Amino acid sequence: MSATLLDFLSETPETFVPCANCPALQRLERELRELRREVSELRCEVGYWKSRHADALKRNEQLTEELRQAQGHIRTLQDKLFGRKSEKSARSDRTNDLFDPEQVTAAAKKRGAQPGHAGHGRRDYSHLPVKEEFVPLPEEALACPHCGKLAAMMSATEDSELLEIEVRAHRRRIRRRRYRASCDCDRSRRTLTAPPPPKLIPKGNDGISIWTHVLVDKYSSYRPTERLLGQLEQYDLDLPAGTVIYLLDSSRSHEVPEAHFGPEAAGVLEVDRYSGYKAMAQVKAGLIVLAFCWAHVRRDFVGVGKGWPELVPWALQWLRRLRQLYGLNRERLQDALGSSEFQQRDALLRQAVGALRVQAVGELSDPKLRQPCRKVLESLQEHWTGLTRFVDEPRIPMDNNASERAGRGPAVARKNFYGSGSLWSGRLAATMFSPLATLAHWKLNPRLWLTWYLESCAAAGGKAPEDIEPFLPWNLSEERRLTLAARATAPGAHDTS
């Protein structure tokens, strides 16, 4: 609809002024009123459609944000499913495959030893027994090709060494000596027989070496029983599959650690952010305080960078701050507690921790902060007290990576123990994991320790010794500890910053 609104003619001596009942004037007035009504309606409609347009824009922004969130979660899940499962990387890469323009990429190195590298030297195998083997020349090689005289053997030899492994199953035939009494003093002692050797299972025919091999191979090397039995068959030893039996707790609730530590337990527990730890009765009573893991916080920022590419710069900034925090704490721990150097580095660490808190609070106060970033920072703020316990207690590590690495083997190999859903199969596994992990912590050889312990069980009639205190690593004498010591030294702690 289109119309033109004309102004009223002003009264001048030259203007014709119609009468009040002029039809033309009345028609114009009616048209004017109609036009004003239509303008008023159109203005109302304009306001309505403007509000609807604003609602549509707002809804579009919400849907766009939801789409970004969904795409970010898809990328995060794809990275978890198809990406690298380990966070371990080269020491020059601290971003977990996030592109960092500030990080200078080193030139690609050739494989193998690098020029100028001193190397590790030859390994020392002098502790292994030596089985000498003399290799003579054949008689035709000793004869002189000209006169036929044989060469005389010298006392010197040309020596070299090869490393070999010889594993062989054998039957241990035990012949107990019998004696005839040479007197008539006691008729009940006419014939004497040496006692039988102790057995771990009184009526079994499997020796202690078999049980040691099975337990170490399965619960220390995490190899499935089927593969173990297949290897033993190659040594002509056919064992039934039912030789090893084991059991699991069906719950992941807070009751499990509660029962493990006991009602009177007190101290600091280094954990991840699993809610079951927070619900422990000892934690609620204040007996146990939780120290949370910074490695899990770091994974949150890495996840934001991998899930939302446009937020990579934001994630990298936080990763650099956390890297600085790890570095300051590492430098602080190099000095003696209470020394002036320690105090200086402790002050720098506390300053960095305070700046990190201020940065998080400042970003959370920004209403334009993206939802993935807000979620990570809110979690950081929620667990701040537990995350910063290491500042006042230097003995507390910044993360629980060491305990997670210790539990990685059982977690990855749980299918080898007939699955985590089988209650009967996990309890022996859990029973074995505890002593094996303890022996590794004390740097003791599990095979030697188990052989010693199982021999003691066999000597006790196939039962556990009444007093197990002498077998505990912290009660061993220095001589016994050296005898059971593991020769392989544990690798140094990996820098998790």
> Residue 467, Cα to own-chain centre: how many angstroms?
36
Residue 244: the pLDDT is 32
CA neighbours closer than 13 Å in the CB half-sphere of residue 315: 26
What's the rounded mean pLDDT across residues 46-52?
Answer: 83
What residues pair up with 267 in beta bridges, in sequence order?
288
Q: Cβ contacts of residue 225 below 8 Å, gap of 6+? A: 218, 241, 244, 416
Residue 493: the pLDDT is 43
Split at pLDDT 50, 70, 90, the class of 464 is: confident
Is the distance from CB of 281 to CB of 258 less than 8 angstroms?
Answer: yes
Q: Cβ contacts of residue 168 below 8 Å, gap of 6+? A: 235
Pairing mode of beta strands 191-193, 267-271 = unpaired
Over residues 326-335, the pLDDT tens digits come to 999 999 998 8
Residue 8: the pLDDT is 43
What's the rounded mean pLDDT across residues 210-223?
Answer: 77
| pLDDT for 266 beyond 90 | no
Is the distance from CB of 458 to CB of 473 less than 8 angstroms?
Answer: no
Q: Which of 31-45, 177-191, 465-479 has the lowest mean pLDDT?
A: 177-191
Split at pLDDT 50, 70, 90, the class of 383 is: very high
Helices and strands, counts by H and E, the chain: 17, 4
Q: pTM (2 decimals)?
A: 0.55
Residue 329: the pLDDT is 93
Is the distance from CB of 302 to CB of 77 less than 8 angstroms?
Answer: no
- ∠ at Cα 388 (359, 349), nearest 5°? 70
| pLDDT for 18 beyond 50 | yes
How far apart (Å, rounded) are the C-alpha atoms in residues 71 and 92? Answer: 30
Q: Cβ contacts of residue 252 below 8 Å, gap of 6+? A: 276
Is the distance from CB of 486 to CB of 443 less than 8 angstroms?
Answer: yes
How far apart (Å, rounded) are the C-alpha atoms in residues 350 and 298? Answer: 19
Residue 2: the pLDDT is 45
- How long is the chain? 497
Split at pLDDT 50, 70, 90, the class of 322 is: very high
Of the candidates 383, 374, 329, 377, the one whose C-alpha atom is nearest the C-alpha of residue 353 is: 329
CA neighbours closer than 13 Å in the CB half-sphere of residue 219: 29
Residue 263: the pLDDT is 82
Over residues 150-183, the pLDDT tens digits come to 888 888 888 888 777 777 777 788 888 888 877 8
What residues pair up with 191 in beta bridges, in sequence order?
180
Q: Residue for token digits 């499962």?
A: 85
- As a whole number of Å, the CA-based R_g of the chain is 41
Residue 377: the pLDDT is 94
Q: Which residue has the higher pLDDT, 395 or 247?
A: 395
Split at pLDDT 50, 70, 90, the class of 225 is: low
Q: Which of 154-163, 255-264, 378-387, 418-427 has the lowest mean pLDDT?
A: 418-427
Residue 245: the pLDDT is 29
| pLDDT for 497 beyond 70 | no
Q: Residue for token digits 């012949």?
A: 175
Q: Which of 135-139, 309-313, 360-364 has the lowest mean pLDDT?
A: 135-139
What's the rounded mean pLDDT across residues 435-456?
Answer: 85
Is the distance from CB of 349 to CB of 363 less than 8 angstroms?
Answer: no
Q: What are phi and psi of 407, to 5 degrees?
A: -90, 0
What's the rounded mean pLDDT across residues 462-482?
Answer: 87
Query: The tokens of 291 are what?
Result: 């120290």
| pLDDT for 440 beyond 70 | yes
Q: What percent of the chain has pLDDT over 90?
A: 16
How far, in Å, are 13, 67, 114, 218 from residue 214 at the CA level?
125, 53, 41, 6
How far apart (Å, rounded) are the C-alpha atoms in residues 404 and 396? Answer: 15
Residue 496: the pLDDT is 47
| pLDDT for 301 beyond 90 | yes
Split at pLDDT 50, 70, 90, the class of 190 is: confident
How far apart (Å, rounded) are the C-alpha atoms in residues 281 and 266? Answer: 11
Residue 67: the pLDDT is 84
DSSP assignments along 305-343, one per residue: HHH-GGGHHHHHHHHHHHHHHHHHHHHHHTSPTTSHHHH
Q: Which of 135-139, 172-176, 235-239, 252-256 has the lowest mean pLDDT?
A: 235-239
| pLDDT for 93 beyond 60 | no
Pairing mode of beta strands 288-292, 191-193 = unpaired
CA neighbours closer than 13 Å in the CB half-sphere of residue 459: 8
| pLDDT for 278 beyond 50 | yes
Residue 193: the pLDDT is 82
Of the candidates 359, 353, 304, 363, the one whose C-alpha atom is nearest the C-alpha of residue 327 is: 353
| Local structure of 366: helix, strand or coil | coil
